Each structure stands twice: as C-alpha cells, then as structure tokens.
Structure 1
C-alpha cells in the first residue's frame, strides 16, 4: 500500500466517528424542524438513510477507492450538499439550520482548512437552493421548544466528538515529533547518540561545569585494529563489533553517563559529576569487559579498546579544547601499545601535554 493511500485511509477512519455521531444526532434536529410541515414518506426515508446509512457507506467508498483521501474529500462535499438541502427544506429555521450548518463548517475547516470551508459553503448554498425549489417552505419559521431541545445534543455532543478527535491527532503528532527528534539524534547502527547530538551535549556539559565548578570527565574510545577486523572478517562482522561495543557501553556505564558514536570505530562518553580517577575506574572496567568477551560467531576474534580521558579544568577555554585533551590522551594510549586507558594530565593544556610528549 502506498503512503498516500495509507494516509487517505487514516483520514477516512478519523472522519467516520464524527460523521456517524453528527448525522445520527442531526436526524432528530431535522426531523423536529420538518415535522410541523408533514413531509411525504420519501423525505423521512431519505432522512433515515442520510443519518444512519450514509456515514458507513461514505467510509466504505473511501476504503475501496484507489485514492481514499480524494474520495473522503468528495464525501465531505456531499455532507455539505446534504446539510444545505435539509436546511433549505426546513426554510432556514434559525436554530436547527444554524446548528447543522455550523457543525458541517467545523468539520470542513478541521478536515481541509479554508479551501474546504469555501467549497463546503458553496455546496451548502446549492443544497439549500435545491430544497427550497422542491419544497417551497416558509422562510425563517419560529423556533419551537421541541426543536430547541432537539438541537441541544448536536450543540453539546458533536463538538466534544470533534474535540476528542483533535486531541487524538495532537497526541499522534506529538509522538511522531518525538520519534523524528530521536531519529535525528540517534546513530542508526548502534542506537547511541550521533556525532552532532553528542557534541551539542558536550557544549552544554562544559558550560554547566564552568558555571557550577563541578567535576566532569570526557572520554574517547577507539576499537583497536578495527580496519583489520573489517578487512579480515568483512563489514557485517565489523558492524556486529560496533553493536557489541554499544551494548557494552550501555551495560557498563551509569545512567547519568552520556555515550555516543563519534564516527567510524570511535565512541565518546561524557561522565557528569565524575573525577578523573572515577572516570578511569569506570572505563577500565569497560575495557576489561570488552577484552574478556568473545564474539559469539567468531570465538577467536578478540577485541580491545584504547581510551583517552580528560577531566574538566578551569584552564579550558571551550568544549573543543576539552575534547582535544581527550583526543591527545587517546593518541597516547594508541601510541604506547593500545588496549589501555590513558588520561590527560589534570590542569595542563592539551598543547603543553603534546609538547611534553615530543620532548
């Protein structure tokens, strides 16, 4: 089924209930207005068919159409035409006619906006003229007490049905928005935050640390010899390794830690309210867990991690410098044998640390 057909069927389903409720109650409104004029039997039959058969027939027509959305919009025009017809047949009796036509106008504008309201208004006027030409009723007759009571259910219950429908649509839109927001910030392979989302959080955490003067650490994690794994076992196994590490991160980090995929085989973690020593302990446990774990399909495939950690310090000017310190610590872990956790010297600028290494 195409996306447009699915949306059209959903549109038809949403309108089925308010149409059934509105026309079912509208029968009593029209009947109370026409009863004093003693209309012929065919008019009563037409009222019953319109009030209790047409809603389900309209839904069936939309469902069986190749273009359900267009079919349902045609049904809305038929609703307006019929509503105008009954308003004209009752001589534009003020309360019943206004109740019926305003409810139809509400339905049209909710379903199709101003354009559908304009089309529906033309259909209502055409239906009213046709009915007046057929029945020649007295215009604007006095409203009786029975007619007033007959209009009350439509004036009370039908707006509630429309309100409930709008609420359900609003909830669905909210859920869809949340799902899209999650997709836009999530790495599709690992389920962790993607590069952009994690970098945004890093900036927020940097600003919090600067404002609150609290401990905070950031870590960069690299899978050792990942290119060799891809070249030897293939990219499917490589993707499996990335998923394995993401699962290990979720299982071994705390709920407050913020993990993401930085790119390729590199992962990143923010550890709020965590000193450098605490962060080292946490990531050392992660390193050992991954190093001791065997791949289910390839027992001979052993994984190891190189990890670089940098603690927040007052010497840092921005989040980029903080991340650079972690990157330099990762470089040191990889250049001194891999499969280890290395931390940047606390309180020392990354550039000074790098110069010390060169010396």
Structure 2
C-alpha cells in the first residue's frame, strides 16, 4: 500500500466512516454487557468518550502526523487494544465480546492482511488482560435478551459500512485501472493510439475482414519535410504541428475510424466498412484541410501531407502484407511529388520478412 502523505490521508478518511459507525453502535453493545455489573462512573465516562470521541481524535492524529499512513495503522492497533479492554471489562461475555472483537479484526485484516490481523489480535489479548485486571468482572456471565438486541445493530450495520468502504475502493481501483490501460495504449504527445495498440487493432480488423468479408481500408500519413520544420522552427513547433495534425485527424475522420501515431511524423488510420474510393475521399479532404490551414503565429509555415491507402482484398494473407501495401502507396505519394493521396496497387508481392517483422 502506498505510504505517501496523500495516500495516508486517503487511508485515514476511508477508516473514519467504519470507525465512527462501529464505535457509535458498539457503545450500546458494551453498555448492555457492563450494565448488570454496575461499573464505576469513570468507566461510563471513558466508554462515552471512546464511543463518540475517539473516531474524530484518531482522524485528527493521522491528519497532523508527518506519516499519516503509519499513524492510522497505530490507530487501528489502539482500536484493538481498546476493544480488548472492553471485552475484559465485560468478563468476556461471549456474544458482545465476539461481536466487538470480530468487527475490529475485520478492520485489521482489510487494512493490513494476515500479519496485521495477528498484531491486532495480540493487542486485543493485551487489552482484555488489562480490562479484567482493573475491573475484575465475573467471567463469562449469562447472556441477557437485552444484550442480544444490543449486538444486532453491530452485526447488521457495521458490515454494511465496511461494504460501502470496500465498494468505494473497488470503484477507485477500476478507474485507476482504466486510466493505466489508456496510458499504455495512448501516444502521450498526440493523444491518439500508440504504435503497438494500433497494430493490434489492425490485426483484429484484418481477422474481421477475412471472417465477415467486410470492406476496409488502411492508410499511412506522413508530414512532408517534417525534419525541415524541426530544423527551421524548432522541436516545440514540430510538436505543435504533430498535435494539430492529430486534432485534424480527430475532426475529419468518422467516429468508427481508428487513428494512431505510427511513429515520428507518421500517422496511421483504419477506416472500417469503407471502400477504396470512400477512403480516398475522406483522406483527400483531410489533406486539403491541412494544406489550406494558415498558422497565425507562423504564416510562412505551410503543411502538406503524403498519404498512402490500401484496401483490404482476398489476395492479402496477413495484416503485415496489408500494411505493406499502404506503405508502398505512401512511398509512391512521396516519390511523385508529395502533397497527395495515392492508392495501393493490389497484388504487390510482400517479402516474408516484412510479415514476420509485423508479427
């Protein structure tokens, strides 16, 4: 568990609710068990302070501590020690004792696992010995009907409070997991899919095309003379150009299209359920939009794109061959003057090593 200050305070806040609920309703459990023995006034005062003041004090101790995580773990040990004390004070009355101590054990095992549970158990034993030594109650007294009723709220409400805390933690973990998954598949500069994630989707789309006989096109996009842009205007402007192209891609493509950053100044797009003519039309609009755009701060900076497109066909044996056709189309676009969209020539033989490289 992360022991940073922020995570430590988060841990303390999570424990505040179950501690407040547990001690609040636990007061009645202990009071019902102690009442027949008529304990002295100081015991009642201590019981009230513990039941309705300690949860706030424990959170304050964690909050002002330089190491709130460790402070909250100490608070849990204090909980166990106090719980053991009241168990000893009530003469180990079976039902109230088991009810109170088991709920605290639930806290300990949830907070620190088996080892922390054992530490808490030792604190409970020490507290029970101390409570019995001070008050000398009758051991294992008979359980009354009132004591049974007093234990019911603890048995019903407290597990619900623990469940609520666990639910909130599970929701937060789910959000964190999704965020990590997104980070692992997203290019940090452009916000598009990264190289690996996009190629994984390309393999999936290739399989769908084979199984469902779907029309599909894939395109590779290159910013013309991008190295000159970096050399002339600097890498910060170069990064800005990459971001602008990613924004243009997002704005120009359909929701079903899958865009990614292939690497450097090269981008990639999968256009599902799209013929070669439709894909050409979509990407031609993108090319014109980028070429006609004027940068306010740099009016002399004009961008152009070279784009290669390959449509899925039965002659393709794997996703690597499909991508290679788009790459050859991109090469044709660059070698014939750039700033254009070029379609692949189906049937171009692909070297087996390229397919193996894709795998």
Pairwise TM-score range, normalised by the shorter structure: over 0.9
- Give structure 2 stretches of 5+ with no counterpart: 352-359
SS at match of 1:260: strand
Describe how 1:149-298 pairs up with structure 2 within 5 A: 149-298=149-298
Deviations for 1:137-172, whole angstroms, at most 9, x for unmatched residues? 111111111111111111110000000000000000
SS at match of 2:166: helix
For residues 146 and 346 of structure 1, the distance between their equivalents in structure 2, rounded to whole angstroms, comes to 86
SS at match of 2:142: coil
For residues 285 and 99 of structure 1, the distance between their equivalents in structure 2, rounded to whole angstroms, comes to 71
Check whether the contact 2:325–2:346 (CA below 8 A) recurs between aligned residues: no
Indicate the residue corresponding to 1:23 in structure 2.
Answer: 23
For residues 60 and 195 of structure 1, the distance between their equivalents in structure 2, rounded to whole angstroms, comes to 49
Describe how 1:88-127 pairs up with structure 2 within 5 A: 88-127=88-127
- TM-score, normalization: structure 2? 0.96
Indicate the residue corresponding to 1:40 in structure 2.
Answer: 40
Check whether the contact 2:219–2:310 (CA below 8 A) recurs between aligned residues: yes
For residues 243 and 318 of structure 2, the distance between their equivalents in structure 1, rounded to whole angstroms, comes to 31
How many equivalent residue pairs?
350
| CA positional deviation for 1:131 | 1.0
For residues 233 and 145 of structure 2, the distance between their equivalents in structure 1, rounded to whole angstroms, comes to 84
For residues 291 and 114 of structure 2, the distance between their equivalents in structure 1, rounded to whole angstroms, comes to 64
For residues 264 and 131 of structure 2, the distance between their equivalents in structure 1, rounded to whole angstroms, comes to 72
SS at match of 1:313: coil
For residues 226 and 285 of structure 1, the distance between their equivalents in structure 2, rounded to whole angstroms, comes to 20
Deviations for 1:28-49, whole angstroms, at most 9, x for unmatched residues? 1100100010000000010011
Indicate the residue corresponding to 1:356 in structure 2.
Answer: none
For residues 180 and 75 of structure 1, the distance between their equivalents in structure 2, rounded to whole angstroms, comes to 32
| CA positional deviation for 1:348 | 4.5
Runs of 4+ in 1 over 3 A off after TM superposition: 346-351
For residues 160 and 101 of structure 1, the distance between their equivalents in structure 2, rounded to whole angstroms, comes to 17
- TM-score, normalization: structure 1? 0.96
SS at match of 1:182: helix
RMSD over aligned CA atoms reads: 1.1
Check whether the contact 1:13–1:59 (CA below 8 A) recurs between aligned residues: yes
- Give structure 1 stretches of 5+ with no counterpart: 352-359
SS at match of 1:301: coil
For residues 99 and 133 of structure 1, the distance between their equivalents in structure 2, rounded to whole angstroms, comes to 22
Check whether the contact 2:3–2:69 (CA below 8 A) recurs between aligned residues: no
For residues 273 and 107 of structure 2, the distance between their equivalents in structure 1, rounded to whole angstroms, comes to 54
Indicate the residue corresponding to 2:357 in structure 1.
Answer: none
| CA positional deviation for 1:297 | 1.6
SS at match of 1:228: helix
Describe how 1:69-80 pairs up with structure 2 within 5 A: 69-80=69-80
